[in-house]
Amino acid sequence: MKDQNISKVFRALDQFEIETPSWGYADTGTRFGKFLQDAAAISIEDKLADAGQVNAFTGCCPTVAVHVLWDFKKGQNPADVVKLARKNGVKIGSINPNLFQDQEYKYGSFCNTDPKVRQHALQHSFDSVELGKQVGSDIISFWMADGSNYPGQANIRQRKAFMEECFQKVHKKLSKKQTMVIEYKPFEPTFYHTDIADWGMSYLFCKNAGPQAKVLVDTGHHYGSQNIEQIVTWLLDENMLGGFHFNDRRYADDDLTLGSIDPYQVFRIFHEILYFTFEKGRAPKIAYMIDQSHIDKPKIEAMLQTVTTAQELFAKAALVDHKQLAVLQKKNQQVDAEELVRRAFFTDVTPYLKAWRKANDLPVNPLLAFRQSGYESKVAAERKARRIELGIGGGSSYA
Ligand code: AFD
Ligand code: MN
Ligand code: MN
């Protein structure tokens, strides 16, 4: 049994990659204030250096998601950012347009009743698609904050039509290699209606946009009782799952470290993906991306926690005997079927993880190795001095 497990875990981890977000390395805040950390990244140079550390210690984070307005300064040559990423042993991953911060987006971007605002949002999206082509990224990732706060405030049908038209225009600009992923979120920042509030709305916008549009599942964007793995399974079956933004939540879109609240839910999501892979004989092309930002945990340590937890849960999910599960499901032996899945979840895979890391010349305990490297105290001193010199507060993620 043990040998069988180890080869399953090795096979799973060999194929497992997860993208870290540039914004997860910089200072962020709550809506009540920004909380600064000396070692938090200030510039894209810092963010890529930090992302390079996470990849170096875990071996599974080769790409970094970027936020266009926060990571590409006006007039900056995108090729320089590509070179910077390479210097740190990573590549630019998904491109995230910023359609929620400009003052003119107060009443929406793609859904704004003012055609000039919609055009401004469209132009930024077209520019983001072009940027993706320049930096060799094949994912453009849309999160739309559009919505309203009071009954009667907005014509929801008209907004749906505006949004649909804009996504169709963006889709036309994609290269053959690019995929656009459309994220959904039930509420926040608006609190009466959100124009892309659930997976069905995202699915319809994708279908109407074109064949290179897929749904992005942010694990923090669901009501407490929702069965996320069922949504994932449906989207997989429809070939409409573009990828994930992984984080954990206790109440809403809390962006906590993955698995910190409900590791079994993440395991069930990975299980459904691996069960699909077993049945279809092929792994789906989906982007595993992290979307977390922390005001209290040290940034890089939080990212290492998320990445190593994701590896651990993916390794556990790889232990499920899909063939046996199918037999038990067919016979409706629900207790045995559940026990088969539970046994995998409760298996201690740390020995296998350590063996895989050893076999790949990686530290067996990435978090401990990072702490021993002294990287954090070094950059804390340097960045603290730079903040004082530049007379700035926290990181540039909301610059
Ligand atoms: C916020 C939004 C959404 C988006 C992320 C990065 O809720 O998840 O993907 O910021 O822009 O978390
Ligand atoms: Mn997200
Ligand atoms: Mn979110």
Question: What is the predicted pLDDT for the residue at 102?
Answer: 95
Alpha carbon of 150 to ligand 2 centroid (Å): 24
Question: What is the predicted pLDDT for the residue at 82?
Answer: 98
Alpha carbon of 226 to ligand 2 centroid (Å): 17
Dihedral over Cα of 352, 354, 355, 361: its sign: positive
Say whether the peptide bond before residue 189 is cis (omega within 30 degrees of 0): yes
- What's the one-letter identity of residue 156? I
Question: What is the predicted pLDDT for the residue at 8?
Answer: 97
Whether 30 shows a pLDDT value over 90: the answer reads no
Torsion of CA 163, 164, 169, 171, to 10 degrees: 110
- What's the one-letter identity of residue 214? K
Give the separation between CA 289 and CA 292, rounded to whole angstroms: 10
Kindly report the length of the chain: 399
Please tell me if the CB atom of residue 292 comes closer than 6 angstroms to any atom of ligand 1. no
Question: What is the predicted pLDDT for the residue at 394?
Answer: 45
- Beta pairing partners, 148: 193
Whether 395 shows a pLDDT value over 90: the answer reads no
Please tell me if the CB atom of residue 28 comes closer than 6 angstroms to any atom of ligand 1. no
Whether 151 shows a pLDDT value over 60: the answer reads yes
Whether 353 shows a pLDDT value over 90: the answer reads yes
Average pLDDT (31-54) is 94
Question: What is the predicted pLDDT for the residue at 399?
Answer: 41
Using 50, 70 and 90 to split pLDDT, how confident is the model at 2? low
- 67 Cα nearest atom in ligand 1: 11
Please tell me if the CB atom of residue 248 comes closer than 6 angstroms to any atom of ligand 1. no
Question: What is the predicted pLDDT for the residue at 3?
Answer: 77
- Beta pairing partners, 65: 21
Closest by CA position to 352, among listed 6, 59, 3: 6
At 183-220, the pLDDT tens digits run 999 999 999 999 999 999 999 999 999 999 999 999 99
Question: What is the predicted pLDDT for the residue at 393?
Answer: 61
Question: What is the predicted pLDDT for the residue at 294?
Answer: 78
- What's the one-letter identity of residue 302? A
CB contact at 8 A, 255 and 293: yes
- Beta pairing partners, 182: 142, 215
- Beta pairing partners, 140: 95, 180
At 82-121, the pLDDT tens digits run 999 999 999 999 999 999 999 999 999 999 999 999 999 9
Average pLDDT (22-47) is 93
At 254-312, the pLDDT tens digits run 899 999 999 999 999 999 999 999 999 999 999 999 999 878 899 999 999 999 999 99
Closest by CA position to 302, among listed 342, 339, 248: 248
CB contact at 8 A, 129 and 178: yes
Q: What 3-state class would DSSP assign to 139?
A: strand
Whether 350 shows a pLDDT value over 60: the answer reads yes
CB contact at 8 A, 186 and 145: no
Please tell me if the CB atom of residue 253 comes closer than 6 angstroms to any atom of ligand 1. yes
Question: How does 340-351 read in b/e, with b if 16+ C-beta sit within 10 Å?
Answer: bbeebbebebee
CATH topology assigned to domain 3-390: TIM Barrel (3.20.20)
Please tell me if the CB atom of residue 96 comes closer than 6 angstroms to any atom of ligand 1. yes
- What is the chain's mean pLDDT, rounded? 96
Residues with Cβ < 8 Å from 307, sequence gap 6 or more? Answer: 18, 20, 54, 58, 60, 61, 290, 366
